Amino acid sequence: MNLISDRLIQSQVPLASQTSYRVGGKAQWYAAPRNWEQLEACFDWYQAQDIPLTLLGAGSNMLISDSGISGLVISTRYFRSYEFEEETGLLMADAGEPIAKLAWKAAKRGLKGLEWAVGIPGTVGGAVVMNAGAHQQCLGDILVSATTLSPDGKIEELNPQELNYSYRTSNLQGTNKLVIRAVMQLQPGFTKADMMQLSSANWTQRKTTQPYHLPSCGSVFRNPQPRAAGWLIEQLGLKGYKIGDAEIAHRHANFILNCGAATASDIFHLIRYVQEKVEYHWSVALEPEVKLVGEF
């Protein structure tokens, strides 16, 4: 199989539309395999080159440089299937499934445990890697195991202890292990009405406190516990501050919005500006939660 002439691996593929910020350049090489065999073929090809590898979910926690990403980008967008075992509450889902969609499906089945995820625009794979969470709950609370495939073909089934979960962190970050699938334990025995009400309340709370009307990556900075990054930024009067077309949101100061024509560079410079101001006034070093990918 020639992966390039078969177009399984393509060159110079624009990535902006595959990120929630809608910014960023092209992937030098890009693949979106549709099955295990194609994924293994992409990994074999990658191993024969001496290039970097980037794994891409829904791109909702990534700021991709305007100059793009060198090496191979593998997207999990076609890894889509899921199964609920309603009696036991087990949920098995492939990496590319949107976590918010599964949260609503779980609520409709009267299953509890994923209702915090209704407003999170990422995939199952991204949520496993980021230990995504909201409303004082996170993926690590419900994960039974995640199956990963490494470029050398090694398959692992990892439990939350092995993933070393903490706040928005797992030890998969910065590795080349691709999350293929996850098993989550939800709690059966709740009513559809109760779970839909809880999920809708979470969704309403998010829409009223966070700006969903313009492209963003959600919270830009990790909260420097016990304080909230948004509060530190807001106290400095930075809401509405703009660089280019990137703006610190009025509704939530830990969000940077692409107001239409922002570049990754605008957003990056705004991130650095906020870090400098917060460091100067609060002596707190804000650490980005968003992954900066490529050259800045």
Ligand X SMILES: Cc1cc2nc3c(=O)[nH]c(=O)nc-3n(C[C@H](O)[C@H](O)[C@H](O)COP(=O)(O)OP(=O)(O)OC[C@H]3O[C@@H](n4cnc5c(N)ncnc54)[C@H](O)[C@@H]3O)c2cc1C
Give the interface segment with ligand X, choosing from 25-33, 49-57, 194-202, 258-266 (CB under 6 A).
49-57
121 lines the binding site for ligand X (CB under 6 A): yes
Catalytic-role residue among 20, 65, 115, 168: 168
60 lines the binding site for ligand X (CB under 6 A): yes
Contacts of 175 (CB under 8 A, 6+ apart): none
Binding letters toward ligand X, positions 130-149, x by CB under 6 A: x-xxx---------------
254 lines the binding site for ligand X (CB under 6 A): no
| Tokens 């959600």 belong to residue | 218
Q: Which C-beta is closer to ligand X: that of 112 or that of 168?
A: 168
Tokens of 270: 């705004």
61 lines the binding site for ligand X (CB under 6 A): yes
Query: What is the b/e burial string over 169-178, where b = at least 16 CB atoms within 10 angstroms of the residue's CB?
Result: bbebeeebbb
Tokens of 84: 């609920």
Tokens of 256: 């940077």
CB of 283 to ligand X, least distance (A): 26
Q: Can you spell out the DSSP letters for 184-209?
A: EEPBP---HHHHHHHHHHHHHHHHHH
The Cα 294–Cα 124 span in angstroms is 23
In 170-231 the beta strands, taken as DSSP E runs, fall at: 178-185
Tokens of 265: 């560079």
Whether 81 sits among the annotated catalytic residues: the reply is no
Catalytic-role residue among 97, 115, 247, 289: 289
Whether 85 sits among the annotated catalytic residues: the reply is no
Give the interface segment with ligand X, choosing from 2-10, 119-127, 185-193, 272-280 (CB under 6 A).
119-127
The Cα 217–Cα 215 span in angstroms is 7
Q: Which residue in the set 24, 25, 33, 57 belongs to the binding site for ligand X (CB under 6 A)?
A: 57
Contact assessment for residue 15 and residue 24, using Cβ atoms and an 8 Å cutoff: yes
Whether 219 sits among the annotated catalytic residues: the reply is yes
For the chain, the first-to-last Cα distance in angstroms comes to 36
CB of 1 to ligand X, least distance (A): 23
Binding letters toward ligand X, positions 63-102, x by CB under 6 A: -------------x------------------x-------
Tell me the catalytic residues: 168, 219, 289
Contacts to ligand X by CB under 6 A? 20, 55-62, 76, 95, 120-123, 125-127, 129-130, 132-134, 168, 172-173, 178-179, 212, 216-218, 291
